[in-house]
């Protein structure tokens, strides 16, 4: 769906929220590719020594897990905390979202629907377990052999589980006609107000849903030194 003009836009993700997302996504893709290359072993011939692949992988893994945290701390930390809080609480609408038998009308979702909340919580937990198991595999000589083996098994299981979840995420962000407009929010920050009204109706009207016009007035006031 195309936006219907400047006044019809609403800010969905600020700069910090977008930086956190893209650092996490960029680190993820590189960690996934280098991790799979380590697992398969065939890419070693192409890239060279396993050591290089390992350095790339650990660097990508740390970017995936820690760079978003750093960006959040340096940027608008409150907006990141608010998003986590919004994803933490489940309400009747969320239960309706997962109830296959309930087909009573359109979405009544807030800032995030139940699928997005589940994705966010799963991703946060998976990131933590990737970091812990990866650190044990990295510093394997400090740990018990059995612990290192278990960490490796957990790391591999997480890889294939997160791959399935990520493909679902890509489908909603790039293919599904009803939800793919959300990609615009993650690229430019703004989404069409009428799209938000249909997909996230209860989010509109909340303080973190400012319109493009309000943002402009805000910026102009700041430039004049009024605020
Ligand atoms: C979060 C930080 C991460 C750290 C610190 C980390 C660290 C490591 C280390 C040290 C290894 C062993 C490399 C070797 O063979 O010597 C490894 C392997 C691997 N990692 Fe990660 N990793 C992280 C995140 C990820 C992510 C996000 C993925 C996939 C999405 C991933 C997938 C893999 C795979 C598939 C392997 C090969 C497993 C194997 O050899 O059994 N890792 N990782």
pLDDT in tens, 48-85: 678 889 999 999 999 999 999 999 999 999 999 999 99
How remote is the CA of residue 172 from the centroid of ligand 1, in Å?
Answer: 26
**What are the chain's domains?**
14-179 (1.20.950.20)
Percentage of the chain beyond pLDDT 70 is: 79
10 lines ligand 1 (CB under 6 A): no
Residue 51 alpha carbon to ligand 1 centre in Å: 13
Model confidence at 16: pLDDT above 80:
yes
Tell the burial category of 118 from Cβ atoms under 10 Å away from its Cβ (0-12, 13-18, 19+).
middle
**What was the pLDDT predicted at 222?**
44
- pLDDT of 23 higher than 70: yes
**pLDDT for the residue 225:** 41
203 CB near ligand 1 (under 6 Å): no
If one compares 109 and 208, the residue with the highest pLDDT of the two is: 109
CB 1 within 8 A of CB 64: no
Residue nearest to atom 30 of ligand 1 (CA): 32
Distances (CA, A) of 28 to 34, 48, 57, 81: 10, 22, 10, 21
């Amino acid at each position: 769906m195309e936006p219907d003009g400047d006044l019809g836009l609403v800010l969905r993700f600020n700069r910090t929220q977008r930086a956190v997302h893209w650092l996490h996504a960029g680190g993820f893709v590189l960690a996934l590719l280098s991790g799979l290359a380590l697992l398969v072993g065939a890419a070693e011939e192409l890239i060279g020594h396993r050591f290089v692949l390992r350095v790339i992988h650990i660097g990508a893994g740390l970017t995936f897990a820690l760079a978003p945290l750093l960006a959040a701390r340096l940027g608008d930390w409150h907006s990141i905390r608010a998003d986590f809080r919004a994803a933490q609480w489940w309400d009747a609408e969320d239960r309706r979202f997962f109830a296959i038998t309930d087909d009573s009308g359109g979405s009544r979702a807030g800032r995030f629907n139940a699928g997005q909340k589940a994705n966010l919580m799963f991703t946060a937990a998976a990131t933590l377990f990737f970091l812990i198991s990866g650190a044990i595999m990295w510093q394997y000589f400090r740990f018990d052999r059995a612990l290192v083996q278990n960490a490796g098994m957990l790391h591999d299981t997480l890889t294939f589980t997160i791959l399935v979840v990520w493909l679902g995420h890509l489908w909603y962000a790039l293919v599904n006609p009803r939800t793919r407009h959300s990609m615009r929010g993650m690229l430019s920050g703004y989404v069409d107000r009428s799209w938000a009204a249909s997909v996230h109706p209860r989010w509109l009207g909340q303080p973190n849903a400012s319109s493009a016009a309000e943002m402009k007035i805000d910026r102009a006031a700041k430039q004049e030194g009024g605020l």
